[in-house]
């Protein structure tokens, strides 16, 4: 694990305060921390792939915290930057290559691999709800950029695995699995607002939390849910209990982190100390 790139960030006049940045890893499924050319008092408005990007200030320098989708090709990419309402300009940054491992899984419920027509309609409705939440943008003064683990247990399936269910290739693993026992508590890893609660075909009992400025987290396969839509959560608040609902081969928590509507590796938001403790379990 690379050394966590941390930095104290302070704003004046009601702006953002953050203890530390996530780890910078500019690869598909990673995070790029891009210093912006603007140095004015007003935060530049930045977008990537037509999605608004989180912008923070370090002393007199603005930084774009960019989530990189897993399907992004390595090479030079461009941010669209607008300063003081002026015409947009392009600012480039480089994405490096990263190869993820392949995981073979056997699902006993074949319907979860080859859904029926009525299932596909349900899946489309549920995807619409979740995609709208991932794409949402809410201004917020304090953005938590280091997370606690939401459940206690060893880390199992890592982010980015190329998954094959019953011999059929499917989408890469868009989160991190925590192999916690069934019924164990799921906690909010940082403050936020509950924006989605539901029982979904693939994800089972699911909760999405909005932490502000395009930072959204998702918790899946839970046995039960202990929160309601619109509820404000403090760090450590109980979200629910670990389970095996939806498409799951055993009890565990699937945890996703989305930044500017790109699913990124949750490990990048964990401190080295948190990761070390998880590896001991």
CATH (domain of 162): 2.70.70.10
Domain for residue 47, yes or no? no
The pLDDT assigned to 266 comes to 97
Count of Cβ atoms closer than 10 Å to residue 221 Cβ: 24
The pLDDT assigned to 5 comes to 27
**Contact (CB, 8 A) for 4 and 20:** yes
Distance CA 246, CA 147 (A): 25
Domain for residue 90, yes or no? no
Low-confidence ranges of the chain (pLDDT < 50): 1-19
Mean pLDDT across the chain: 87
Domain for residue 207, yes or no? yes
Cα distances from 144 to residues 13, 74, 93, 115, in angstroms, run 19, 28, 24, 37
Which tokens sit at 109? 């419920």
Domain for residue 67, yes or no? no
pTM above 0.75, yes or no: yes
CA atoms lying within 13 Å on the CB side of residue 279: 9
> What would you report as the CA-atom Rg of the chain, rounded to the nearest whole angstrom?
19
Which tokens sit at 90? 């392009």
The kind and range of the H/E element at 278 are: helix 272-279
The pLDDT assigned to 19 comes to 47
Domain for residue 17, yes or no? no
Indicate left, alpha or beta for 241 from its phi (over 0: left) and psi (-120 to 50: alpha).
beta
Number of domains the chain contains: 1
Domain for residue 170, yes or no? yes
The pLDDT assigned to 13 comes to 30
Domain for residue 82, yes or no? no
DSSP-assigned beta bridge partners for residue 270: 147
pLDDT single digits (tens) 97-143:
998 887 766 666 777 767 889 999 999 999 999 999 999 999 987 89
Domain for residue 236, yes or no? yes
Question: Which domain range does residue 236 map to?
Answer: 102-279
């Amino acid at each position: 694990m690379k050394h966590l790139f941390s930095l104290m960030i302070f704003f004046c006049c009601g702006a953002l305060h953050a203890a530390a940045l996530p780890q910078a890893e500019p690869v598909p499924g990673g995070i790029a921390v891009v210093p912006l050319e603007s140095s004015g008092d007003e935060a530049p408005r930045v977008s990537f792939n037509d999605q608004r990007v989180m912008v923070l200030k370090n002393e007199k320098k603005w930084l774009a915290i960019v989530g990189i989708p897993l399907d992004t090709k390595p090479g030079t990419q461009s941010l669209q930057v607008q300063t003081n309402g002026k015409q947009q300009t392009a600012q480039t940054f480089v994405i490096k290559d990263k190869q993820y491992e392949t995981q073979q899984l056997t699902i006993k419920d074949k319907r979860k691999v080859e859904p029926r027509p009525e299932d596909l309609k349900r899946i489309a409705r549920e995807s619409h709800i979740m995609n709208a939440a991932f794409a949402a943008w809410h201004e917020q003064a304090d953005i938590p950029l280091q997370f606690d683990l939401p459940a206690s247990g060893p880390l199992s399936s890592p982010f980015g695995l190329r998954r094959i269910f019953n011999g059929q290739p499917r989408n890469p693993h868009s989160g991190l699995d925590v192999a916690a026992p069934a019924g164990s508590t799921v906690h909010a890893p940082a403050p936020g607002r509950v924006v989605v609660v539901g029982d979904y075909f693939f994800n089972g009992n699911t909760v999405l939390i909005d932490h502000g400025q395009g930072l959204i987290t998702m918790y899946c396969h839970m046995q039960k849910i202990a929160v309601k839509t619109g509820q404000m959560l403090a760090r450590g608040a109980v979200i629910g209990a670990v389970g095996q609902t939806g498409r799951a081969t055993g009890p565990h928590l699937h945890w996703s982190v989305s930044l500017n509507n790109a699913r990124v590796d949750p490990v990048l938001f964990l401190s080295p100390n948190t990761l070390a403790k998880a590896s001991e379990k």
